[in-house]
Structure 1
Amino acid sequence: MKIMCLNGWGGKLHEVMLPYLTATAPDILCLQEVIHRPSSEKDWLTYRDGDHVLPQRSNLFRDVASALPDHAAIFCPAAQGVLWDGDVSIPSQWGLATFVHRSFPIIGQVQGFVHKDYSPLRFGDHPRSRSAHGVRVWDYDADRALSVTHMHGLRDLAGKMDTPERVEQAHRLRDLSSQLSEPGDLIVICGDFNVEPDSETLSILADAGMTELVTTLGFSGTRNSHYRKPGRFADYMLINTQDAVTGFEVIYDPEVSDHCPIILEV
């Protein structure tokens, strides 16, 4: 089974990302930073937050679902706020999504918030609402259940240091994974955590029996040339049984986002 985790960057590089996802065809795709605006006729809208301006695919969720037609697609909104078509404001949902190949029965799901709650009228003040989603599937080849839970961690304008809010979100993520999983499951937790490798977030998950693979296996970061700020780590993948890992890669080429895809094979 192949599991991929990726922050999609709002689909800014969708012309590269969608063919890559089609060719790679992960069995489970955990995708963060997803826009869902099915009623919009526009392909592109614009996100504006002060001097931070970013083009957004108006329905990245639909785009990826079309690229992976053999997958069940689940969208989990964190907020509905405003994107822009020129000077016209367009209410748009923002969150994360999970795609599961239909050959793997989904036998459990969990969805919840690791920070705040659903923001129905605007994206809100930083640090903003953040959600998590998990699926439990049956792997017939391995004759076992597997749970995969992912989140998009808090973005703090001050940086990636530990904060009480980040500590709380780590506890909530751990608890959501525990709520989903059963004894004997292979457990995976992943996402764009927006923290450094020495963060308390990873310590909390390590205390829960999880091994982080990006740093353990010696990768130098999860950001690429599109990310021009200091700090090369943001995305992580953890597993409760490292012996189950048959392959693990951080993909630096092609560049499909300002984050690198992370791929785990078990």
Structure 2
Amino acid sequence: MKIMSLNAWGGVLHDKFVAFLGEADPDVLCLQEVIRTPGAERDWLVYRDGDHVLDQRANFFDEVCRALPRHAAYFCPAARGALWDDAREVASFWGLATFVRTSFTVIGQAQGFVHGDFSPHGYGDHPRPRNAHAVRLYDAALDRTVSIAHMHGLRDLRGKMDTPERLAQAQRFLALSDQVSDADDIRVLCGDFNVEPDSETLALMREQGFTELVTRHASQGTRTSLYQKPGRFADYLLVDQPEKVLDFDVVRHPEVSDHCPLIVKI
């Protein structure tokens, strides 16, 4: 089973991303920063947050669905806020998405908020709501169950330091994974956690029996050349049975986001 986790950056590099998706061919794809805009008249809209202005692919979720026709798709919105078509405001959903190849059977799932709650009338002030999604899969070929959970950790404008909110977020994320998982499952935690390698978040996950793979394999971090700020770590992938890992990679080329895809084979 090949599992990929990536902050998709709202589909900014849409064409490169779709091409890479065909090459990578993951069995399970965990995406953060996914846009869905029902009824959008244009392929591209604009996100504005003060001085931060970014093109966004209006129906990125639906386009990934078309690129993965043999996957079941799940969209988990965290907020409904404004994107812009020139001067016209367009209501758009923003959140997570999970794609599971249909040769694997989804036998359990849960989604919930690890920080805040769903915001239906705007993205709100930072730190904004953050959610998570967990799925439990039956792998008939190997007669085993695998549980995978991913989240997009809250952004704090002060930086990626430990905060009580981030610790509470990690506790809620683990509880969501526990809700779906069984004792015999191979368990995977992944996503853009928005924390440093020495964070309380990762320490808590290690205490719960998970092995973190990124810092063991990627001293350069998980950000691409498109990310110009300091702090190169944001994305992580952890497993509770490291002996089941066949391969792990932080993909640096091609660049399909300002984050690197994380790919694990179990």
Partner letter of residue 195 of structure 2?
Answer: V
- Counterpart code for 2:54: L
| 1:220 to 1:158, Cα distance in 2 relative to 1, 3 A | same
- Which amino acid letter does the alignment assign opposite residue 211 of structure 2? T
Q: CA deviation at 1:140?
A: 2.0
Counterpart residue number, 1:185: 185
Question: Deviations for 1:2-42, whole angstroms, at most 9, x for unmatched residues?
Answer: 00000000000011001111221100000000001121121
Q: Provide the residue aligned with 2:246 in structure 1.
A: 246
Segment of structure 1 superposing worse, 141-150 or 78-87? 141-150
Deviation at 1:141, TM superposition (A): 2.7
- Contact 2:221/2:233 (8 A) holds in 1: yes
Contact map agreement 2:217 2:249 (CA 8 A) in 1 = no
Aligned to 1:232, what secondary structure does the other structure show?
Answer: coil
Query: Is the partner of 1:26 in helix, strand or coil?
Result: coil
Q: Secondary structure at the match of 2:172?
A: helix
Distance in 2 (CA, whole Å) between partners of 1:158 and 1:172 is 22
Q: Distance in 1 between matches of 2:109 and 2:64?
A: 20
**Number of equivalenced pairs:** 266
Q: What amino acid is aligned across from residue 203 of structure 2 in structure 1?
A: S
TM-score by length of 1: 0.99
- Give 1:219 shift: 3.8
Q: Which residue of 2 aligns with 1:134?
A: 134
CA distance in 1, matches of 2:80, 2:50: 18
Q: Equivalent residue for 2:113?
A: 113
RMSD between aligned residues = 0.7
5+ residue gaps, structure 2, are: none
Q: CA deviation at 1:122?
A: 0.4
Q: Distance in 2 between matches of 1:39 and 1:11?
A: 18
| Superposition map of 1:106-255 within 5 A | 106-255=106-255
Report the TM-score, using the length of structure 2 for normalisation: 0.99
Does the 8 Å contact 1:189/1:239 carry over to 2? yes
For 2:167, what is the secondary structure of its paired residue? helix
- Contact 2:218/2:250 (<8 A) preserved: no
Q: How does 1:43-82 map to 2 (within 5 A)?
A: 43-82=43-82
Partner of 1:34: 34
Q: Within 1, Cα distance between the matches of 2:25 and 2:218?
A: 25
Structure 1 gaps of 5+ residues are: none
SS of residue paired to 1:248: strand
Deviation string 1:192-242 (CA, Å, 9 cap, x unpaired) is 000110000001111111110001235421001000000110000000000
- Taking every aligned residue pair, what percent have the same amino acid on both sides? 60
Deviations 1:164-187, CA, capped at 9 Å, x for gaps: 110110000010001110011000
Helix, strand or coil for the counterpart of 2:18? helix
Contact 1:35 / 1:58 at 8 angstroms: preserved in 2?
yes
